[in-house]
Structure 1
Amino acid sequence: MTPITEVEGRRLPLSNLDKVLYLATGFTKGELLHYYATTAEALLPHLHNRPLSFLRFPDGPDGQHFFAKNVPPGAPDWVKTAEVPRSDGVSRQVLVQDLASLMWAANLVTELHTPQWQVDAPAQADRLVLDLDPGAPADIVQCCEVALWLRERLAEDGLDAYAKTSGSKGLHLLVPLVLVPSERASAYAKRLAQEAEAELAGLVVHRMTRSLRPGKVFVDHSQNSAAKTTAAPYTLRARPEPTVSAPVTWEEVEACRDSGDARDLVFLAEDIAPRLQRYGDLLGPLNDAERAGRLPSA
Structure 2
Amino acid sequence: MTPITLVEGRRITLSNLDKVIYPETGFTKGEVLHYYATVAAPFLAHVHNRPVSFLRYPDGPDGQLFFTKNPPPGTPDWVRTTPVPRSDEPSAEQVVVADMPSLMWAANLVVEFHTPQWPAGSPAVADRLILDLDPGPPASVVECCAAALWLRDRLAADGLRAYAKTSGSKGLHLSIPLEPTPSAQVSAYAKALAQEAEGALPALIVHRMAKALRPGKVFVDHSQNAAAKTTAAPYTLRARMLPTVSAPVSWEEVRACRTPDDLLFLADDIGPRLARDGDLFAPLLDPDLAGRLP
- TM category (shorter chain) comes to over 0.9
CA RMSD of aligned residues (A): 0.5
User: Residue in 2 aligned with 1:134?
Assistant: 135
Distance in 2 (CA, whole Å) between partners of 1:237 and 1:76 is 24
Deviations 1:154-211 (A, max 9, x none): 0000000000000000000000000000000000000110011000011111001111
1:86 partner SS: coil
Which amino acid is 2:142 matched to? V
User: Residue in 1 aligned with 2:3?
Assistant: 3
**Aligned-residue offset at 1:290:** 0.4
1:15 partner SS: coil
- Count the aligned residue pairs: 293
Distance in 2 (CA, whole Å) between partners of 1:139 and 1:87 is 36
User: Residue in 1 aligned with 2:282?
Assistant: 284
Distance in 1 (CA, whole Å) between partners of 2:3 and 2:276 is 34
User: Residue in 1 aligned with 2:54?
Assistant: 54
**Aligned-residue offset at 1:19:** 0.3
Which amino acid is 2:141 matched to? I
Unpaired segments ≥5 residues, structure 2:
none
Aligned pairs for 1:112-127 (under 5 A) are 112-127=113-128
Shift >2 Å, 4+ stretches:
none
Distance in 2 (CA, whole Å) between partners of 1:4 and 1:119 is 30
**Aligned-residue offset at 1:287:** 1.0
Which amino acid is 1:77 matched to? D
Distance in 2 (CA, whole Å) between partners of 1:243 and 1:35 is 11
2:234 partner SS: coil
Distance in 1 (CA, whole Å) between partners of 2:291 and 2:121 is 20
Aligned pairs for 1:31-110 (under 5 A) are 31-88=31-88, 89-110=90-111
Deviations 1:228-262 (A, max 9, x none): 00000000000000000000000000000xxx211
Aligned identity (percent) is 71
User: Residue in 2 aligned with 1:272?
Assistant: 270
User: Residue in 2 aligned with 1:240?
Assistant: 241
**Aligned-residue offset at 1:91:** 1.1
1:58 partner SS: coil
**Aligned-residue offset at 1:90:** 2.9
Distance in 1 (CA, whole Å) between partners of 2:124 and 2:87 is 12
User: Residue in 2 aligned with 1:192?
Assistant: 193
Which amino acid is 2:11 matched to? R
User: Residue in 1 aligned with 2:225?
Assistant: 224
User: Residue in 2 aligned with 1:158?
Assistant: 159
